[in-house]
């Protein structure tokens, strides 16, 4: 039991050591010549005007989050479709349940008015 924890601890220590060593080495060998022009915000070559802090409507974030969620869930359909014939009827029923949950989530978001852009 102790040997398993020791192996995990050694793995974590070695991983942390490699990351810290890499960061330290990068800090030592990188060129560092700060200049006010280099530290300006880059906006397509234009001189920045005002602050970069703009308040966005929260609907844009929710809309993007819903897109990412459904996009990632659709990714699960491709491997299933490739091996569909070998999985059988049980996998078909499981995928129908999965799609039903996604449709329910989409319907719920639609009824809550999340998908209204403006």
pLDDT tens track of the chain, all 118 residues?
668 889 899 999 999 999 999 999 999 999 888 788 777 766 666 666 777 677 777 777 888 888 888 888 888 888 888 888 888 888 889 889 988 988 898 888 888 887 776 6
Q: Using alpha carbons only, what angle is made at residue 68 by residues 65 and 69, rounded to the nearest 5 degrees?
A: 85
pLDDT value of residue 49: 73
Burial 23-42 (b: 16+ CB within 10 A, else e): eeeeeeeeeeeeeeeeeeee
pLDDT value of residue 97: 92
pLDDT value of residue 22: 97
Q: Using alpha carbons only, what angle is made at residue 99 by residues 97 and 103, rounded to the nearest 5 degrees?
A: 115
Do the Cβ atoms of 83 and 76 come closer than 8 Å? no
User: Residue 116 falls within a domain, yes or no?
Assistant: no
User: Residue 117 falls within a domain, yes or no?
Assistant: no
Q: Range of 79's domain?
A: 2-111
User: Residue 58 falls within a domain, yes or no?
Assistant: yes
Number of structural domains in the chain: 1
Question: What is the Cα–Cα distance from 60 to 84, expressed in whole angstroms?
Answer: 36
Q: What is the CATH number of the domain that holds 55?
A: 1.20.58
- The pTM score is 0.47
Question: What is the Cα–Cα distance from 53 to 34, expressed in whole angstroms?
Answer: 24
Q: How many residues does the chain have?
A: 118
């Amino acid at each position: 039991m102790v040997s398993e924890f020791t192996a995990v601890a050694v793995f974590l220590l070695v991983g942390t050591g490699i990351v810290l060593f890499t960061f330290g080495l990068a800090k030592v060998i990188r060129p560092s010549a700060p200049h006010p022009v280099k530290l300006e915000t880059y906006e397509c070559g234009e001189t920045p005007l005002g602050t970069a802090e703009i308040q966005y409507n929260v609907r844009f974030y929710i809309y993007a989050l819903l897109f990412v969620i459904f996009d990632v869930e659709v990714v699960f359909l491709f491997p299933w479709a490739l091996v569909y014939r070998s999985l059988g009827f049980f996998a078909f029923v499981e995928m129908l349940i999965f799609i039903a949950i996604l449709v329910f989530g989409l319907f719920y978001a639609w009824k809550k008015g999340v998908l209204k852009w403006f």
